Structure 1
Amino acid sequence: MSVAHACVDVYQGAVAALVPYFVAERAYSYAAASGVVLAASLLSSLVQPVFGALTDRWAMPWLLPLGALAAGAGVALSGVTGSYALTLAAVALSGVGVAAYHPEAARAARAAAGGSHTAMGRFSLGGNVGFALAPLLVAAVVAVGGLRASPLLVLPALLGAALCVAAGRSAGSRAGGGAVTAASGRDDWPSFLRLSGAVACRSVVFVGLSAFVSLYVPGRAGGGEAAGTAALCVLYAGGAVGTVAGGRLAERYGRLAVVRRAYVLAVVAVAGVVLVPGPAVYGCVALASAGLYVPFSLHITLGQDALPRRVGTASGVTLGLAVSVGGVAAPALGALADATSLRTALLPLVVLPLVARLLLWGLREPVPAGAGPEAQVR
């Protein structure tokens, strides 16, 4: 399931990785380019909680391969469409595929992981690897053959769909192929809503950096498109380290303590990305990636434990917000960049991790569903 997750999340990273090529080949403005990111995220943000609610009621393993294929088909078509509207439609299809995949995959992964933070971290790591590989895959295909070569980008989806069939059969067998048994426990909606606010803040920062760091870093460090691709790879690859570290640190210090400290690191690191000149900006990108990714899998398990009776809904919202809210905000950042400068547009991203940290102030560690009476909140 982790490898299949990597194959699907290639397409979340691929949309941002295609932005410089849309700007270069089609002369898109910053606002138009960020509109592509919005198209991939908007429908995803709307339908992913719906898919989550459905998977709370029924095991739907067929969503895994179907979502993978839709995600790949949309990105593959985006480079060969003849108009801006068709490009938006293609990446929107990809976003819906991603939305269909994640809630069922997270529910099945939680069952396979037995509630382990470290094991869920491995599942999330698969998605981080997919994100990290996306710029390299896009560069290998589009930089050589242009946007017209984008149909080759469907190949990871075919592999992911094949892996999803096997994972889906296993998940369907465990679930009996019918209704999902409701977990015991009380849903804590106030805590879940505060957590969701923090996830939304993280999303705007991460998607904003994903959309524009490849355009911004060459002006700070030099090196042209290659420097931009390298910065995007650092942003995504640092997430793999952050996700693994997050799970391990949470086992020792508690999830909320780790998440809060990660957001403090993110404030400093994002400020460095925006303000530090020269090659040192790559180090700031790496630290920003760690600060934003350490909380990633912990958000998922915190949300699932806050809503033990609606694990699919919690997964759909936390995973959906992780990308979609940032995609909705991306056009505003692009419009601000067009009106002022890219640096000015990125400055608001420095403040949002602090807002996320404040939203988590006083929040208590939820007791996982099924925990014994000796379990204590932190």
Structure 2
Amino acid sequence: MEAAKKQQDQQMTTMYAILFAISTGHMLNDSFQAVVAAMFPILESSMGLTYAQIGWIAFVVNMTSSVMQPVFGLYADKKPTPFLLPFGMFLSLIGLVAFAYSPNFYLILLSVLFIGLGSAVFHPEGSRVAYMAAGKKRGLAQSIYQVGGNAGQSLAPIFTAYIFVPLGQIGAAWFAFAAGLGIIILSNVSKWYKKQIALFSIPKKQQSKTTEKNPMNRKVKVALILLIFLVFARSWYSAGIGNFYQFYLIGDYGLSIKQAQLYVFIYMIAGVIGTLFGGSLGDRFGRRNIIFLSLFGAAPLTLALPHVPLYMVIPLFFLIGVIVMSSFSVTVVYAQELVPNKIGMVSGLIVGLAFGMGAIGAVLFGTLADMFSIKFVMILCSVLPLLGIFTLFLPKDETLSKLTA
């Protein structure tokens, strides 16, 4: 009885040291993907790449991460593997060094493949660690974890302005040192993770009975598909802003590359703030409500953005970033509560789709920008948050436990 109570107490305790460590690992991991996006204006100039080719680079790094995340997540559900955390960082290190020295478009694609694969390996296990360390505060824990990733992504404009503009492509090699630091941090997290596996694992016999007794019912499947659709809408909007709005600022407002990066940074850092507070707001006001607000609630602002004068871009950008990204961690927790027996798989599916859908969007938007104009792409992106109206068809938070019972 005492052992069981001690185990339950451990599961209910929020481990902030582990959460901040895995969040730091997440920040480093996603900053490496940010290196790729940060290099786009440099590669366009030095290699003469088209918008479509830039879209394909974004597609490879993001789609690799997307497709493989659920695969590694499903594997982790069956056999948790702590060493995958530092191993994923090692794959990213290989990709970064190769990226710095790639002389042509095709080797660039190969190098970003390694960066995407490293991210795919890291994310499902990272989400599982955040789940284990959450205790009773799942929304807050997922926010701490996800805010690290969003902070890493938000650094892309800073990388461009202060590293790649002066140093060029070779500047990517400096991030190998950050990858080495990440390997050390995640190696220590994986030691804690290994000790926790026994506390959270379900015996195979019991797991088998649970699966037979509670197969995923039709309503859960429909809700999961709808949630994925909403992630799609948010991801395509973010892909348009993150990959191409810098070119819109340069072409339509006459800004320099460095100036444009600082504007995009405002959006990215606002997204970090939204992610940080979104999980706690979801715990308090309901996850479905926050998902609805983050998309449909942001629509009036996103629709206005392509048409406002330059002095209004920063305040609009900030508000849009905070609102849109407030649901980033909330959608993950909502999915975990929909499918509580497959934490790794469903986390990989939701977070992976955020990258994968953004990858498809990047290729489409790049092609459309070549065919029409960057402004056309920005106007197209601006209507995507209206799809948030479909959030109203998701089950309410209080009915989730009934669906999975």
TM-score by length of 1: 0.92
1:60 deviates by 1.0
Q: What is the match of residue 352 of structure 2?
A: 320
SS in 2 for 1:279: helix
What is the distance in 2 between the residues matched to 1:156 and 1:204?
A: 29
Structure holding more helix per residue = 2
Q: What is the match of residue 370 of structure 2?
A: 338
The Cα offsets for residues 211-238 of structure 1, whole Å up to 9 and x where unpaired, read as: 0122112344443111221122112101
Select between 174-183 and 242-251 the one with higher mean Cα deviation: 174-183
SS in 2 for 1:169: helix
Alignment map for 1:169-180 (pairs within 5 Å) = 169-176=191-198
Alignment map for 1:260-299 (pairs within 5 Å) = 260-299=292-331
Q: Give the conservation status (yes or no) of the 8 Å contact 1:43–1:92.
A: yes
1:49 deviates by 0.9
The Cα offsets for residues 28-58 of structure 1, whole Å up to 9 and x where unpaired, read as: 1111111110111122222111011001111
User: What is the one-letter code of the residue matched to 2:131?
Assistant: R
Q: 2:73 aligns with which of 47, 52, 72?
A: 52
Q: Structure 1: which 4+ aligned runs deviate by more than 4 Å?
A: 177-186, 366-369
Q: Give the conservation status (yes or no) of the 8 Å contact 1:103–1:312.
A: yes
What is the distance in 2 between the residues matched to 1:251 and 1:149?
A: 41
Q: What is the match of residue 127 of structure 1?
A: 149
Structure 2 gaps, min length 5: 1-21
User: What is the one-letter code of the residue matched to 1:147?
Assistant: Q
User: What is the one-letter code of the residue matched to 2:86?
Assistant: P
Q: Give the conservation status (yes or no) of the 8 Å contact 2:299–2:385.
A: yes
1:134 deviates by 3.2
Q: Kindly tell me: are residues 266 and 92 of structure 1, through their superposed partners in 2, closer, same or farther at Cα, counting changes over 3 Å?
A: farther
Alignment map for 1:123-202 (pairs within 5 Å) = 123-176=145-198, 187=216, 188-202=220-234
Q: Kindly tell me: are residues 352 and 237 of structure 1, through their superposed partners in 2, closer, same or farther at Cα, counting changes over 3 Å?
A: same
TM-score by length of 2: 0.86
1:12 deviates by 2.5
The Cα offsets for residues 230-262 of structure 1, whole Å up to 9 and x where unpaired, read as: 122112101111012212222221111111012
Q: What is the match of residue 103 of structure 1?
A: 124
What is the distance in 2 between the residues matched to 1:197 and 1:270?
A: 19
Q: What is the match of residue 16 of structure 2?
A: none
The Cα offsets for residues 277-328 of structure 1, whole Å up to 9 and x where unpaired, read as: 2121122222221222100000110111111111111100011011111112
Count residues with an aligned counterpart. Answer: 373
Superposition CA RMSD, Å:
2.4
Q: What is the match of residue 84 of structure 1?
A: 105
Q: Kindly tell me: are residues 233 and 310 of structure 1, through their superposed partners in 2, closer, same or farther at Cα, counting changes over 3 Å?
A: same
Q: Give the conservation status (yes or no) of the 8 Å contact 1:305–1:366.
A: no
Select between 147-156 and 176-185 the one with higher mean Cα deviation: 176-185
Q: Give the conservation status (yes or no) of the 8 Å contact 1:9–1:128.
A: yes
Q: Kindly tell me: are residues 366 and 227 of structure 1, through their superposed partners in 2, closer, same or farther at Cα, counting changes over 3 Å?
A: same
What is the distance in 2 between the residues matched to 1:238 and 1:229?
A: 14
1:162 deviates by 1.0
User: What is the one-letter code of the residue matched to 1:26?
Assistant: M
What is the distance in 1 between the residues matched to 2:202 and 2:146?
A: 23
The Cα offsets for residues 92-118 of structure 1, whole Å up to 9 and x where unpaired, read as: 111111011000110111110125211
Q: What is the match of residue 11 of structure 2?
A: none
SS in 2 for 1:223: coil
What is the distance in 2 between the residues matched to 1:315 and 1:332?
A: 26
SS in 2 for 1:361: helix
